[in-house]
């Protein structure tokens, strides 16, 4: 607990230092706004004169943590599980590589081409279904309410495990535990029969992950660059042991063999 509190304070101090730099520039006249990037918009909302629009300092820091996890921790975890699946399923690895080379050739990925990566999108969605970085949806009950036949008192924390829905055979079929990206060939709405709660790797509702698009684009860029350069096979030393540590991670890492294409 002491170590955890120390880390928490360290993160809080880092975010507060960034916020103070923005505020100091405005106060000194060096800048006429807090900025138009994500942090600038949050700091601007923190200083909003309207109570209804103002965000608390706690929420500001929380959103900064979220975008950090989305841009780094979530992408690291997601890429690891995708690479594992492609190492095992060579046919899908080749399909994804052909798509990447058809769109980008040997050039670096660009935004216009990223939007055309249909096969890669299917692979990413299927990996998110089986091994999504966010394994649950934590929520705090603000006031007493009823969930089905259960009465939830105020001020308790609940964790909705999305893996329970992502691996529900009633929603996905008897092959629910198999890696089959073709499920998503016609999009998420079609495969889930327009049931929003059947697939929510980035959360659900008005508080769904603000970094969803960022993390997806980062994943596609990194994966495209890997597939342009290497073939991937699984190492015989790999031991499968997923474990939740903030995100769902491979406990012993993922050992793979990379061989240059050229």
Task: Please report, for the chain, the start and end positions of each structural domain, with discontinuous segments joined by +.
Answer: 56-260
Residue 172: which pLDDT band, with cuts at 50, 70 and 90?
very high
Q: How does DSSP classify residue 65? A: H
CA distances from 76 to 71, 82, 94, 176, 219 (A): 9, 10, 22, 24, 8
User: Residue 207 above 80 pLDDT?
Assistant: no
User: Residue 165 above 80 pLDDT?
Assistant: yes
Summarize the confidence of residues 224-228 as an average pLDDT: 97
| pLDDT at residue 241, as a whole number | 94
- Report whether 64 belongs to an annotated binding site: no
Which residue's entry shows tokens 């015989």? Answer: 236
User: Residue 68 above 90 pLDDT?
Assistant: no
| pLDDT at residue 225, as a whole number | 97
Burial class (CB in 10 A: 0-12, 13-18, 19+), 123: buried
Report the C-alpha gap between 56 and 230 in whole angstroms.
46
CATH class of 56-260: mainly alpha
Residues of the chain with pLDDT > 90, as a percent, come to 60
| pLDDT at residue 192, as a whole number | 92
pLDDT tens for 8-29 read 899 889 999 999 999 999 999 9
CA distances from 100 to 44, 86, 113, 116 (A): 40, 14, 9, 9
Collapsing DSSP to helix, strand or coil, 128 comes out as: helix
Q: Which two tokens stand for residue 237?
A: 């030393």
Q: Write out the E strands in the chain.
A: 137-140, 145-147, 150-152, 157-160, 230-234, 242-245, 247-250, 256-260
Q: Which of 212, 198, 140 is nearest to 164 (CA)?
A: 198
User: Residue 70 above 70 pLDDT?
Assistant: no
């Amino acid at each position: 607990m002491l170590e955890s509190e120390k880390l928490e304070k360290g993160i809080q101090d880092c975010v507060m230092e960034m916020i103070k730099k923005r505020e100091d520039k405005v106060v000194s006249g060096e800048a006429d706004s807090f900025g138009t990037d994500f942090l600038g918009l949050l700091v601007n909302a923190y200083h909003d004169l309207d109570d209804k629009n103002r965000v608390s300092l706690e929420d500001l820091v929380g959103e900064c943590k979220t975008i950090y996890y989305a841009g780094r921790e979530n992408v690291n975890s997601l890429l690891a599980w995708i690479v594992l699946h492609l190492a095992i399923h060579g046919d899908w690895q080749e399909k994804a590589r052909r798509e990447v080379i058809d769109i980008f050739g040997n050039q670096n990925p660009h935004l216009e081409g990223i939007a055309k990566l249909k096969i890669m999108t299917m692979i990413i969605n299927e990996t998110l279904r089986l091994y999504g970085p966010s394994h649950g949806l934590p929520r705090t009950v603000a006031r007493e309410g009823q969930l089905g036949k259960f009465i939830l008192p105020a001020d308790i924390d609940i964790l909705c495990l999305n893996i329970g829905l992502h691996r529900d055979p009633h929603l996905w079929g008897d092959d629910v535990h198999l890696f089959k990206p073709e499920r998503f060939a016609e999009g998420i709405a079609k495969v889930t029969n327009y049931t929003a709660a059947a697939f929510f790797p980035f959360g659900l509702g008005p508080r769904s992950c603000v970094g969803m698009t960022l993390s997806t684009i980062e994943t596609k860029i990194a994966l495209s660059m890997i597939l342009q350069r290497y073939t991937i096979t699984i190492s015989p030393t790999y031991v499968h042991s997923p474990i939740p540590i903030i995100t769902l991670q491979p406990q012993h890492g993922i050992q793979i063999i990379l061989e240059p294409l050229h």
